[in-house]
Structure 1
Amino acid sequence: MLSEKSTATVRATLPAVGAAIGDITELFYEKLFEAHPELLRDLFNRGNQAAGLQKQALAGSIAAFATHLLAHPDTRPDVMLHRIAHKHASLGVTREQYPVVRTHLFAAIAEVLGEAVTPEVAEAWDEVYWLMANALAALEDRLYAGARVAAGDVWREWTVSGRAEETADCASFRLTPADGAPAPEFKPGQYVSVQVALADGARQIRQYSLTNAPGSPQLAITVKRVHGPAAQGPDGEVSNHLHAHVHPGDRLRVSVPYGDLVLQDSGAPLLLASAGIGCTPMLSMLDHLAHTGHTAPVTVVHADRSPADHALRTEHRALAGKLADCEALFWYEEAPEAGDRAGRVDLSDVPLAPGTRAYLCGPLPFMRATREQLLAKGVAAADIHYEVFGPDLWLATA
């Protein structure tokens, strides 16, 4: 994929670029938003920008892509690319935006690295950029075509047909197409983007996993309200808006469903592990398994602060109970009830059938710890799949 000439140059300069990538991405976003303030207002997550999370994710993806090209020149890091492409498609990103990104990214590289960016270095890293950008654009085009929408045209108006308070900080919303058309098809585990108009005129977007099984005339999402320091700034903008202002009869602007953490209908034994609001895609998977009559063993694992904080706890256990061979194990740090487990997830005494496929969703420390336990129990690395809410920092913190 990468030319021999560029390979040599990228190999020689990757340490310098890697060491400066944090500064490069920070300056890139400054330049991008100065030239295009509408992108920060209406496309990018202002909370993630304020916290520096998006910068970390971009830095990690660029470094990982370049490293992969050097180590495996005839292949692409498709898992990473598919994850990014699904997120881009849910936001309505189009290939016309990639030249804009390239302009400001390379301006940042030149400013940070100075004279080290010779024409040869710029040409080599330009090749890296366009290999990644064109691969993403092609994947996104296929995702749009698969959803039968024009590139970027992912938004529809939906009516809130129901709302339920699940916990003190979690509310569920049922959504019905406002135009009366059928709900779009989706796969268990996928999410939608929700765009809301805020008081300052911004139209901020967040992603929420679907909790119901495919085939329903409605969509269902559960939203956790962000508290703490983040709620004093941009991080909690959309969740707090939904909790405070959105009720049955209101309308929401919602995207076509996307997401690459999808349940494979292989008939294999499964482990569905979640923590906190990460239970939401697992509810969709369990609902789907119950509807399709899955008979292989399923192990459901969930961790939360307390039973009162466990959103959809009753539904979580009830759906597990509908399966022919399913064990549901809930860990709570506080006030566990009869049949629950205390503390953090410990899989040492949890039997798993050979060939188990695992799906993880929750905070990154939980998923890393659970993955390590699964590998120690003999689950193949290729059979462990995960979903991160927000920017994917797995690569950035590896």
Structure 2
Amino acid sequence: MMRHTIYTYSKEYFNKLYEDRDEQGAIVLSISQVPNKTHLDNYIDRGLDVEVDLTSAISLLMINQESLYQFELYLNTIVEVEIRFIIEEKYAEKALDLFKFIFDESEKLPLYTINKSEKEDGNLNGETVEEALIKKVTNLKNDGIDRLDNHLNTNIIGHNDFKNAFIEKLKSFSVFNSIGEHKVLSVFLLGPSGIGKTEFAKEIHNFFNVDTSLIKINFGNYSSQDSLNSLIGSPRGFIGSDDGELPRKLLKSDVGIILIDEFEKADKKVFNFFLELLEEGSFTNSLGEVFDLNGYVIIFTSNLDKKSFTTKLPPELRSRFDIKSEFFPLSVEDKNTYLSLKLEKLISKLNIEDKEAFREEIEQEIKDIVYTQNNLREINRILRDAITRRMFSWLP
């Protein structure tokens, strides 16, 4: 029987490999997602190129080889299908050793492998490997943290005590993360809706100037009985099984910022999941795949007040959050500043000859909303409605 080649990739490049294959109309599957040959045939019949990742299986067999014989029988049933086998590079030699009658060589995937000199130097085209792949706050040097501080002060109005506390904690996080003593920076923001909690996470993400979306999980959209399965995926064979919202979004993002909205609506299983995640800095999805979140910032938000926070969340979880802050409505002065900035940004994008006169008309129309509205989303809506009315009145 003809033996096959197994292709290797560097762990740091898996997300890029997964995304590239998706864009190319191909699919990458963990071996745990392939129950039988018929399953593969369904993909092949749809004209998809398939790569099957053996990493999880080999890592398990390195610990316990009791199922080696059965797994080899299984591999022989699918090996002749027109697919390609891939594996994380550090497991390739063991795969060749265990399955020498199936695989005779390994070959690097050149676009998804870090060469030796890059590993030794920690440099990839002038950037560290992590910087080239996932943008994280831990990659920022002193001037980078200063630039983030300026960005937040420019784009987040009010909440000055919190912003200062966050930057100080970020400096501490950078130091202790570098020696393996602090895996994930966690922030819990309390307060009513529409006062800037979500905006804070968005602005940290915007600071990195990337095209991918912010990773956002909203527990207000989850059903309570299946929250954890919806979050990290349910085992194969379960009705309605899927890969989980968090793993899917992690694979598509290149910024180490996660926003968890309406966290108070999660259940006990989810609380326990995040308790472990904040301690370990990683989690394992329903397919046995490990997601390393070392260096990430996770921002939790809730509409709870400080008193409700202490009764709703268990004490062991509350103690895991690095920063806990209650947001309050902005002052009239801050709302005026916020309104002026938003108005200036919107008008700058409009095709209007006399922008100054247009702005003055809008300001006159909506000047009183800073006294009647605290919700920034509602202020934005009123502002946009006023601009729309004025735009149509200015049209010839």
Normalised to the residue count of structure 2, the TM-score between the two structures is: 0.24
Higher alpha-carbon Rg? 2
Structure ranking higher in helix proportion: 2
Normalised to the residue count of structure 1, the TM-score between the two structures is: 0.24
Structure ranking higher in strand proportion: 1
